[in-house]
C-alpha cells in the first residue's frame, strides 16, 4: 500500500504530468515545476524527487541537482503568501537588510544572519520570506516581491501597507468562511 504524507503529490498525478511531457525538451524542469505547483505547500519533498527520478529512470542526484540549482524550486513547505526580498548589491545599498529585518519582526520570524538557509515560513504556513540575489531591476531598488508582484523603491512604510493589505485579505476570508 502507498504511504504518503498529506503534502506529497500522488503517484497518479506525477504519472500524468510525466506522460504529458515525456520526450520533450526540458521535460525534467517542466515536470518538477508542475509537480511543485500541485503540492499544496508548493514544494518538492525528498520522496517526491525520488519518485520522479524512479519514474524517469534517471539518478536521484540529477533530479536533486536541478531542484537545488533553480531558486524557483522549494525543498521546504512554503507559506500561502511569498515575500521575496532582494539582497543584491544595489538593493542592499538602499536598505534591503533593514526591510528584511522589518518583515521578519512583523511576522514574528527569528532569522539568523549566519544561517545559510534563506527561506523562513511562519508556523501557521501563511507567510514565507526568502531572499533573492537580484531581480534585475536594480534601478528601482530596493525591490520586494509579494505573491509574484514586484514592488520597487520599497521603504518601511510601503512595506507595512503591503503586509497590512495581505493580512486584511486573509482576515476577510476567515470572516466569510465563518459566516457561511
Ligand atoms: S540588486 Fe536588487 S534588483 Fe538588482
pTM above 0.85, yes or no: no
100: in domain? yes
- pLDDT for the residue 115: 66
- pLDDT for the residue 35: 97
- pLDDT for the residue 3: 45
CATH no. for residue 161? 3.40.30.10
- pLDDT at residue 154 is higher than 70: yes
Domain co-membership, 53 together with 125: no
CA of 165 to the centre of ligand 1 (A): 24
74: in domain? no
Which atom of ligand 1 is the closest one to the Cα of 91? 2
Domain co-membership, 114 together with 156: yes
Domain co-membership, 60 together with 89: no
- pLDDT at residue 153 is higher than 90: yes
User: Which residues line the pocket of ligand 1, CB cutoff 6 A?
Assistant: 86, 88-91, 134-135, 137-138, 141, 143
Per the structure, the complete domain to which residue 21 belongs is given by 11-69
3: in domain? no
Which SS3 state, helix, strand or coil, does residue 180 take?
coil
CA of 78 to the centre of ligand 1 (A): 23
What secondary structure does DSSP assign to 4-64, as a single string?
--TTS--HHHHHHHHHHHTTSTTHHHHHHHHHHHHSTTS---HHHHHHHHHHHTS-HHHHH
Domain co-membership, 63 together with 133: no
Amino acid at each position: 500500500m502507498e504511504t504518503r504524507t498529506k503534502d506529497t503529490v500522488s503517484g497518479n498525478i506525477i504519472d500524468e504530468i510525466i506522460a504529458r511531457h515525456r520526450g520533450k525538451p526540458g521535460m525534467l524542469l517542466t515536470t518538477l515545476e508542475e509537480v511543485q505547483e500541485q503540492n499544496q505547500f508548493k514544494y518538492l519533498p525528498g520522496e517526491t524527487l525520488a519518485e520522479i527520478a524512479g519514474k524517469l529512470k534517471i539518478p536521484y542526484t540529477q533530479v536533486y541537482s536541478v531542484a537545488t540549482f533553480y531558486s524557483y524550486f522549494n525543498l521546504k513547505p512554503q507559506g500561502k503568501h511569498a515575500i521575496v526580498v532582494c539582497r543584491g548589491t544595489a538593493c542592499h545599498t538602499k536598505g534591503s537588510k533593514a526591510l528584511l529585518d522589518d518583515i521578519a519582526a512583523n511576522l514574528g520570524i527569528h532569522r539568523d544572519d549566519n544561517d545559510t538557509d534563506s527561506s523562513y515560513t511562519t508556523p501557521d504556513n501563511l507567510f514565507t520570506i526568502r531572499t533573492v540575489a537580484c531581480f534585475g531591476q536594480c534601478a528601482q531598488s530596493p525591490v520586494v516581491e509579494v505573491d509574484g508582484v514586484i514592488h520597487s523603491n520599497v521603504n518601511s512604510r510601503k512595506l507595512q501597507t503591503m503586509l497590512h493589505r495581505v493580512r486584511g485579505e486573509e482576515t476577510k476570508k476567515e470572516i466569510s468562511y465563518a459566516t457561511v
